Amino acid sequence: MSFTQKDVIKLAHLARLDLDLGAITKTTLDSTEQDVTKQPLKHFAANITKDLNNILNMVAEISEIDTKHVEPMFHSSAMSQRLRNDEVTESNVVTTMQQIAPPGGAKNNLYIVPLVVE
C-alpha cells in the first residue's frame, strides 16, 4: 500500500486536520538565532505524502511475521475492569469546567459552537 496525495487528503479529513495550517513554533530562543526546528508549513504539506509513505514502509516489516496462532496483547497487565460501589464520590464541576472554556465558548452551563442545524 502506498499513499497518494488523494489518500492523504482523505486521511486528513478523517482526522479533522487541514494540512496547510499549523502551529508555528513560539520560540523563546534569541531572535538572532536560526531556529532549525521550525518546519515551514508548506514544506510539511508538500512532504506529508512522502513522510507517511516512509513510515508505512518502515512498519511494513511486521506483515512478514506469522502470527496466526498469537493472541494480540492490547495491554501489559492481565486485569479486568475494577468495579466500585455505586456511590456518588465526585462533586459537580460544571462551573469550574466552564471557566476554562475558550473565550466566548461557554455560557449558562452550555458550550457555544457554530450553528449545527438551521
Partner 1 sequence: MLTKTISELKQGLEARDFSSSELVQSCIKQINKFNPQLNCFITINSEQALTQATQADSAISLGNAKPLTGIPIAHKDIFCTNGVKTSCGSKILDNFIAPYDATVVTRLQAAGAICVGKTNMDEFAMGSSNETSYYGVTKSPWDLEYVPGGSSGGSAAAIAARLVPGATGTDTGGSIRQPAAFSGITGLKPTYGRVSRWGMIAFASSLDQGGPLAQTAEDCALLLQQMAGVDPRDSTSVAQPVPNYSASLNDSINGLTIGLPEEFFNQQLSADMAKHLQAAIKIFSQLGTKVKSVKLPHSPLAIPAYYIVAPAECSSNLARYDGVRYGYRCENPKDLQDLYKRSRSEGFGTEVKRRIMIGTYVLSSGYYDSYYLQAQKIRKLIADDFTQAFAEVDLILGPTTAGPAFKIGEKFADPISMYRSDTYTSCVNLAGLPAISVPCGFSNALPVGLQLIGNYFSEAKLLNAAHKYQQETAWHKQLPKLVSNF
Q: Which of 63, 91, 92, 109 binds partner 1 (CB under 8 A)?
A: 63
Can you tell me the distance from the alpha carbon of 19 to that of 42, in angstroms, rounded to the nearest whole number?
A: 9
Rule CB under 8 A: which of 71-110 touch partner 1? 71-77, 79, 81-82, 84, 93, 96-97, 99-103, 105-106
Q: Which three three-digit cell numbers place residue 106?
A: 461557554
Nearest C-alpha neighbor of 44 from the set 16, 14, 76, 20: 20
Q: Does 5 bind partner 1 (CB under 8 A)?
A: no
11 binds partner 1 per the rule CB under 8 A: yes
Residue reference for cell 479529513: 13
Residues at the contact surface with partner 1, assessed by CB under 8 A: 1, 8, 11-12, 14-23, 25-29, 35-37, 39, 41, 44, 48, 51-52, 54-56, 58-63, 65, 67, 70-77, 79, 81-82, 84, 93, 96-97, 99-103, 105-106, 111, 113-116
